[in-house]
Homo-oligomer: A and B are copies of this chain.
């Protein structure tokens, strides 16, 4: 492995919000790329994208595109992944897939490197990248789980519109301007583009992300519940989520309540542990009004944690506020980080 100068990397969905961040992150991290192949739907093929000062023309993604590819980062929607990821694997590539297509497949590891990097060893060609809101939460909670045990999570999210794609960001901006001008603006994208009804997001909060499941939870909420259990290898962990979309461009926030497995732990001990945790930046000083906020996390790879408090009634209970850039640690950076781990562990052929 150490002889390799670089890898042939493909980005599928290269023109999307996450795809663009993937390309930027590969460049920022100076990932050992010998050749970068940018793929998309036929509609976006032909677009030119800059990588390390050179223009690369985006090509239509086809099964044959993956001949000779070492690592393929997918972020072009679940149906594209279902069709093309197995084709890429068949041709010898390792796929890191940022859609929900394979996340709960029992033969596919679902990986956040700070939490379960070792699961990469059991891959069968595809590694799934978890949902954005799940990733930042498990990065913050893993150090606590390891040291004190973890029994219960109740999370309420404050999610940015970029999680619904570039069109949702545009909708937020145009709609906000229209409302400030006192003009009408017909919502067309949020909360779910394909849904029957669309609602105003500007100066509003929409308690729906993704569509509904029979139990009254949304798919987004069930993703947080099921993916957290899988990543932490804790099928018995109690997890509940309420997911809400806010008029924020980028940066997901989460109000997280947990019950750990140990009595007598102080908030100070939790803070101390998180101050040294991988991928975490502790921002917690009420006297200095220091706490994480989405507007100040954009463009950063870290998960920011603050407002850490011990529950008043439950000795095992703690509250915290967790913020991260949903396009980076929530998507592009976690995918590239998985690729870095694969290289480090010698798992790329």
Contacts and interface: CB of A to CB of B under 8 A. Distances in A.
B180 A295 contact: no
Nearest to A222: B312
Given A200-B295, A242-B319, 10 more contacts: A158-B158, A173-B180, A199-B295, A207-B291, A215-B309, A225-B312, A240-B311, A240-B319, A242-B307, A244-B321
A91 B294 CA distance: 51
A302 to B, nearest CB: 17
Interface residues of A, number: 60
Instruction: Count copies of this chain in the complex.
Output: 2
Interface string A192-233: 000111011001111110001001110000000100000000
Interface string A294-320: 110000000000111111111001010
B176 A253 contact: no
B293 A154 contact: no
Nearest to A254: B156
A13 interface: no
Contacts of A216: 267, 286, 307-310
A307 B218 CA distance: 10
A177 interface: yes
Contact of A293 (B158, B177, B207, B307): B207
Contacts of A311: 240
B247 A247 contact: yes
A255 interface: yes
A195 B289 contact: yes
Nearest to A286: B212
A321 B206 CA distance: 10
A333 to B, nearest CB: 21
A287 interface: yes
A248 interface: yes
A159 to B, nearest CB: 10
B248 A307 contact: no
A224 B190 CA distance: 31
A204 B250 CA distance: 9
